[in-house]
Amino acid sequence: MFQGNDVQLEFVRIDPFVRTTLKNSNGALTTTFKLPDVYGVFKFVVDYRRTGYTHLYDMQQMSVRPLWHTQYERFIRSAYPYYASSFSMMIGLVLFSFIFLHYREPSKGDAAQQKKTN
């Protein structure tokens, strides 16, 4: 069983975006990393050259693309303030429209009658 702890994985487009050392767990080499925020065609490259070992070269091609509009979450948590502001604007518009349509200025006769009572 291979026990190397110096095998590196490169995530390459033209130049390496990520270069990380693989962790050995019972002969299986694993790692985790976050993909770069760049779209394109990338390659996973393992190029292991050590004296006394056979040269190991493996390359896997993968495309990184943006999510489709159907793959996003239905409601995004970070957008809740924007949802609240849009609903408050709708409520404000309804209230303003109601007040604007139903407001009546006091007639001149009502104003004269109020002066007499004061």
- Terminal Cα-to-Cα distance of the chain (whole angstroms): 104
At 91 the pLDDT is: 98
At 105 the pLDDT is: 82
User: Which run of H or E residues covers position 92?
Assistant: helix 80-102
- Given a cut of 80, is residue 82 above it in pLDDT? yes
At 108 the pLDDT is: 75
In whole numbers, what is the pLDDT of the chain averaged over residues?
86
Cα(47)–Cα(54) distance, integer angstroms: 11
Cα(31)–Cα(10) distance, integer angstroms: 11
Cα(62)–Cα(43) distance, integer angstroms: 6
pLDDT digits (tens, 9 = 90+) for 3-59: 777 888 899 988 888 889 888 888 788 899 888 888 889 999 999 888 888 888 999
At 74 the pLDDT is: 80
